[in-house]
Structure formats: structure tokens, C-alpha cells
Structure 1
Amino acid sequence: MQRLAFKMKLNPGQKDVYIKRHKELWPELKKILKDSGVSEYSIFLDEETHTLFAFQKVSGQGGSQELSNNPIVKKWWAFMADIMETNPDNSPISHPLEEVFYMK
């Protein structure tokens, strides 16, 4: 099991919309994530900087970042593009973070 972390950026004033959309996460998207090996996925918000911090526990080498060709993932990105910083393909601009400490 590996732990992955990355950060993204939420547009100012979009916290409530972001939370609502994730509370209503599409079942088919959740299944894709689980099937790809993501067993845990948390996202935290730093409201001062609008930075989203995401953490995943993943079996295998993948994670959600490896699902860019999936049509449901692409549809989710398009759905979220109006409230986040995105790349031209609507994927969230995301920056991987290096783990520098872990306590078990």
C-alpha cells in the first residue's frame, strides 16, 4: 500500500459548491477509484490560500492521477472545471507532494 498526496487549487468562494459536489460523488466514479486501487481518499482545504490537499491510500502503482483516459473521470473534470484551477483538458492542476515524515 502506498500513500499519495497532492495539492490543487479551488477558486475563491467555491468551498460550498465543492463540498456539495463531493457529497454527491457519482457512484460510477467511486467504483472506478476503488477498482483502480484507491482504498482511502481525503481532501482538505486551506481556506486562506484556497489550496486543496489530497491524500490517498493506493494498492499498486496507480491512484486517481492515472485515470486520465477514463470517460467518467473526464466528465467529472468537466463538471468541476468551473470551480477549480484546471489544465486545458479540464484536469485539475495538481502538484504531487513528497512524503517527508510518516509515523505508524
Structure 2
Amino acid sequence: MQRYCFCLQVRTDRLDEYVERHRDVWPEMQAVLREAGWHNYSLFLRADGLLIGYVESPDLEAAQRAMAATEVNARWQAEMTEFFTAGQPDESFVLLPEIFHLNGD
């Protein structure tokens, strides 16, 4: 399993609504994320709109392709795009290189 971290920028005038929308992510969206290979997926949001995502997956590109092929993801992304300063959120995030990991053993 590989670990991935990414960042995006949420519009500061939409932060509260963005947080609220993630309090109740659609069950069908959660199901297809799991089926597509997204594991231990978390989002963290800073007050200035910096969004950091963390996900584990055997192959992130394959997981992204699997998500892109689903109708529920198309609906979710259409609703989420307006919250971001640039581009489609599922296509424009910047991957961050891992520079340290403390193994849990």
C-alpha cells in the first residue's frame, strides 16, 4: 500500500460550506471510493483554505481512473468544483513527496 498526500486551495469565502458538505458525504460516494481503492482517506483544511489530503492506495492513478468512470463521482465533482480556486478538484491536486515516515512497528 502506498501513501499519498496532496494539496488544493479552497475558496476562503466558501470554507464553512465546504466543511459542512463533508460532514455528510453521500454513502454511495464513500462506497465507490472504497471500491476504487481509496483507503484511510482524510482531508485537513487550514483557515486560509489550504486543503491537505491523505490517502493510501495500491495505485493512485488506477484509483483515480476507477473513480472517474463512476456516475456518482461525476455528480460529486460537479458540486465540489465551485469550492476550489482552480480546476476540477479530482484532476488538479498537487501530489507532495513523502520525505519522512515513522513506521508504526
TM-score (norm 1): 0.84
Preserved contact between residue 7 and residue 97 of structure 1 (Cα < 8 Å): yes
Identity of aligned residues (%): 26
Cα displacement (A) at 1:86: 4.0
Equivalenced residue count is 99
Unaligned runs of 5+ in 2: none
After TM superposition, the structure 1 = structure 2 runs for residues 40-59 of structure 1, keeping only pairs within 5 Å, are: 40-48=40-48, 50-58=49-57
Aligned twin of 1:102: 101
SS at match of 2:83: coil
Preserved contact between residue 9 and residue 84 of structure 1 (Cα < 8 Å): yes
Tell me, in whole angstroms, the C-alpha distance in 2 between the residues paired with 1:36 and 1:55.
Answer: 15
Unaligned runs of 5+ in 1: none
TM-score (norm 2): 0.83
Superposed CA RMSD: 1.6
Aligned twin of 2:19: 19
